């Protein structure tokens, strides 16, 4: 009997064809269309899948939290993102947490994997999740006014939810994202932040899944109903070469 949660235990390398014969298993299907992007998915072997299953459990939030529920509900998106990013990085071996420099690893998303500021060299890497907000829509994750940032060449991300770290009342109320050249998503209402996580009093908002492969463009805008500075963390995972994930001071480029 496996010790994994049912959603994790269900991941396997047995193809699951639908009535049309197309494989729908997130661990074995050969491609997927997400918004306007057609992503080719790299195969995983037994060792890589088992590493993901074992270590994904360690990255889950505390039992009962809304964040944990979102993570388990989107587990197929996480495995698809892993395979899409692995494909973009020339099928490098997935080694999970604390991967070596040239291996594919994973971790939680840190501010340093995003950019916010005017075009500059080096990039205006974020050092925290702080974001000043007003009632007017404004750039949030960007590289030059109204322009998208470009994800680094050695990593990608999967974003499934947002977390406000401001207490007692978060400020962000609406946001919108653009993934790639044509993946423009409708604005999301995140006023649910004000209610907080029903189990652990953490402000969580589920948003449409976004998979960012290396060198993808990514742009975000946001607004508030009341002026203030929020701390909005991107919830999800980053998959990338160990040398990129272990950096304390970011040096990555697209």
Confidence of residue 111 (pLDDT cuts 50, 70, 90): very high
Which range is least confidently modeled, 47-51, 117-121, 242-246? 117-121
R_g over Cα of the chain: 18
Q: Is residue 154 part of a domain?
A: yes
| 182 shares a domain with 70 | no
Q: pTM for the complete prediction?
A: 0.95
Predicted pLDDT of residue 4:
80
**3-state per-residue secondary structure call for the chain:** CCCCCHHHHCCCCCCCECCCCCECCCCCCCEEEECCEEEECCCCCHHHHHHHHHHHHHHCCCCCCHHHHHHHHCHHHHHHHHHHHHHHCCCCCEEECCCCCCCEEEEECCHHHCEEECCCCCCCECCCCEEEECCCCEEEEEECCCCCEECCCCEEEEEEEEEECCCCCCCEEEEEEEECCCEECCCEECHHHHHCCCCCCCEEEEEEEEEECCCCEEEEEEEECCCEEEEEEEEEEEEEEHHHHCCCCCCCCC
Give the model confidence (pLDDT) of 11-53 as tens digits: 999 999 999 989 999 999 999 988 878 899 999 999 999 999 9
| 143 shares a domain with 74 | no
Q: Is residue 56 part of a domain?
A: yes
Using CA atoms, how far apart are residues 12 and 49, in angstroms rounded to an integer?
Answer: 8
Q: Among residues 75, 107, 139, which one ends one of the domains?
A: 107
| 195 shares a domain with 74 | no
Residue 122, preceding peptide bond in cis (omega within 30° of 0): yes
Confidence of residue 2 (pLDDT cuts 50, 70, 90): low
Q: Is residue 152 part of a domain?
A: yes
Confidence of residue 7 (pLDDT cuts 50, 70, 90): very high
Does residue 193 register a pLDDT over 60? yes
């Amino acid at each position: 009997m496996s010790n994994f949660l049912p959603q994790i235990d269900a991941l396997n390398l047995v193809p699951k064809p639908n009535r049309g014969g197309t494989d729908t298993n997130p661990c074995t299907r050969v491609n997927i269309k997400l918004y306007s992007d057609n992503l080719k998915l790299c195969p995983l072997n037994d060792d890589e899948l088992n590493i993901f299953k074992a270590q994904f459990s360690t990255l889950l939030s505390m039992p009962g939290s809304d964040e944990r529920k979102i993570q388990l509900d989107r587990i197929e998106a996480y495995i698809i993102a892993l395979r899409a990013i692995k494909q973009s990085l020339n099928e490098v071996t997935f080694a999970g947490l604390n991967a070596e420099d040239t291996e594919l690893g994973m971790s939680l998303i840190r501010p340093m994997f995003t950019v916010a500021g005017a075009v500059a060299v080096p990039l205006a890497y974020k050092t925290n999740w702080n974001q000043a907000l007003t009632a007017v829509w404004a750039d949030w994750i960007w590289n030059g006014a109204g322009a998208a940032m470009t994800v680094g060449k050695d990593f990608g991300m999967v974003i499934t939810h947002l977390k406000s770290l401001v207490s007692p009342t978060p400020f962000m109320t609406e946001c919108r994202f653009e993934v790639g050249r044509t993946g423009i998503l409708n604005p999301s209402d995140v006023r649910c932040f004000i209610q907080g996580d029903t189990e652990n009093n953490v402000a969580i908002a589920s948003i449409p899944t976004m998979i960012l492969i290396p060198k993808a463009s990514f742009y975000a805008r946001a607004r508030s109903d009341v002026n203030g500075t929020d701390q909005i963390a991107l919830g999800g995972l980053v998959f990338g070469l160990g040398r990129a994930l272990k950096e304390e001071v970011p040096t990555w480029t697209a």
